[in-house]
Amino acid sequence: MDYGLLSILPPILAIALALIFRNVFIALFLGCLLGYIILAGGHLLQGIDDTLMSFITVFEDNDNTIVILLVAILGGLILLIEKSGGISGFVDYLTHKRSMIRSRRGANLFTWIVGLIVFTSGTLSNLVTGTISRPVSDAMQVSHEKLAYIVHSTSTPVCVLIPLSGWGAFMIGLIQAQGIPNGAQVLAKTIPLNFYCLLAVLAVLVFSLTGRDFGPMRKAEKRASEMGLLDEPGKGKRCDTSQKSSASEPRATTSLNLIVPIAIMVGMIIVGLFITGNGNLLEGDGMRAILWGIILSLFVAMLMFLVQRIFSVKEMLNIFFVGTGEMVSVASILIFAFSMGTVVKLLGAGAYLGSIFEGLLVPAMLPAIIFFLSCIISFSTGTSMGSMAVMMPLAMPIAMSMGIHIPLTAAAVFGGSIFGDHASPISDTTVLACVATGCDVMDHVRTQLPYAAIFGLIAFVMYLVAGFTV
């Protein structure tokens, strides 16, 4: 069934409510509710029932379930590491014993470098980069808004620019599915043409080195540096390093209690990708590999703490479940976000938006318009891969029929799709960046959106110019 204009109302409502009221729970719930009421033909009770059941059916998708489970386990693992003294030891090692990081600029640069290194998965990058960098950034009084911005900007954008993971296989598949041979070569040619992702990643380096922020981010950084408040008062998770958790206080101070579990996690993820991909990392199952890595990391961490006699088994379990409990709200947001993605797909919002713009294309303007449309779809749906899957079948046939540069058009699809993943308040990576950094979701969106919007505008102009020159 073609729902027409009705298909885009749920994501528009969710985004509007999230931006106006700064409450992701209410925004996503009401967006899902409106979507399922539309799907039910306007029947209120049926729509309510379908909405509630959609939250249950989220767990029918293995990847969704794994992501939610990962968030919960990671919360427990992080708290265990923190209470073992691993985080404080790591901070002390970098800032005092080695004096490797002695300023806010150094902390930001460190976060950026870690984000570049962890390029195999947007989920992994957000979780690992945020976990490693947060204690150092907190010690240097970097606002959680700024930390979330750096972590988020070096997650999926870097995955697309360094496609040596499941991302690469996915994008090659999308290209070749349109009847275009040598998908890997086309993908390689899109990298220098992916203007938005390049701008997003390089701008973080510039802002990290210069410390010159603007808009809401500047106010957040001023608050952190002058008042020592890493979050707006009353917001964030354990808003600053002076706040205490309900679990026991650290009993030791050694950086190994952080470094070893994290190294085990990353190493196991690489091994998992190799195993599940039958020897090919690019074809590995990223979600399963991440799950294996975190589980093994948790096991090794608990074993280390037992050997060091820091905790008893009972104490470790108590701390672990306190940490997982702190992630209940985040898991709930993810469930709502996954449900929203499903209802948007059922309504055919992406296809509707594509049909609107298809008749407005001027050949040389195609890459810019494709980028703009991809931005709208990805921002409205909060999914990058979903937006790529929607836009590629629309963009490639038009580009081939009009003789438009194929890599440039593909890059416009990839970059525009990442824009929404990067900027949308209903994106799962937006939530995960906040999980790892302790930043309030809407504070992160509010401070990052001006940057993303400006880079998106610049990228649009670059595609407009490139359409006439490439």
The per-residue pLDDT for range 310-355, each reduced to its tens digit, is 888 998 999 899 988 877 876 787 788 778 778 877 887 766 765 6
CA dist., res. 221 & res. 143, Å (int)? 6
Count of domains for the chain: 1
Give me the mean pLDDT over the 292-309 stretch. 90
Confidence of residue 243 (pLDDT cuts 50, 70, 90): very low
Q: Is residue 53 part of a domain?
A: no
Bigger pLDDT: 82 vs 461: 461
- The pLDDT assigned to 182 comes to 74
Q: Is residue 470 part of a domain?
A: no
Bigger pLDDT: 117 vs 306: 306
Domain span at residue 142 reads 62-180+193-329
CA dist., res. 92 & res. 304, Å (int)? 20
Alpha-carbon distances of 354 from 104, 351, 393, rounded to whole Å: 44, 5, 10
- The pLDDT assigned to 24 comes to 67
- The pLDDT assigned to 353 comes to 63
Q: Is residue 232 part of a domain?
A: yes
> Model's pTM, two decimal places?
0.67
Q: Is residue 393 part of a domain?
A: no
Q: Is residue 114 part of a domain?
A: yes
pLDDT tens-digit readout, 432-448: 888 888 888 889 999 99
Other C-beta atoms lying within 10 Å of the C-beta of residue 422: 31
Confidence of residue 164 (pLDDT cuts 50, 70, 90): low
Q: Is residue 336 part of a domain?
A: no
pLDDT tens-digit readout, 394-437: 778 778 877 789 999 999 999 999 998 888 887 888 888 888 88
- The pLDDT assigned to 357 comes to 59
- The pLDDT assigned to 358 comes to 60
236 has pLDDT over 60: no
Q: Is residue 426 part of a domain?
A: no
**Of the spans 148-152, 238-242, 439-443, which averages the highest pLDDT?**
148-152
Give me the mean pLDDT over the 17-43 stretch. 83
Mean pLDDT across the chain, nearest whole number? Answer: 82
Percent of the chain with pLDDT over 90: 23
CA dist., res. 451 & res. 458, Å (int)? 11
**Of the spans 34-43, 116-125, 159-168, which averages the highest pLDDT?**
34-43
Whether the Cβ atoms of residue 328 and residue 304 lie closer than 8 Å to each other: no
294 has pLDDT over 70: yes
Alpha-carbon distances of 166 from 171, 207, 377, 395, rounded to whole Å: 9, 30, 22, 22
Give me the mean pLDDT over the 187-197 stretch. 93
58 has pLDDT over 90: no
Name every residue whose Cβ is closer than 8 Å to that of residue 193 and which is 6 or more positions away in sequence: 407, 408, 411, 466, 470
Least confident segment among 15-19, 313-317, 339-343, 357-361: 357-361
- The pLDDT assigned to 465 comes to 94
Q: Is residue 68 part of a domain?
A: yes
Give me the mean pLDDT over the 2-29 stretch. 77
Give me the mean pLDDT over the 103-119 stretch. 84
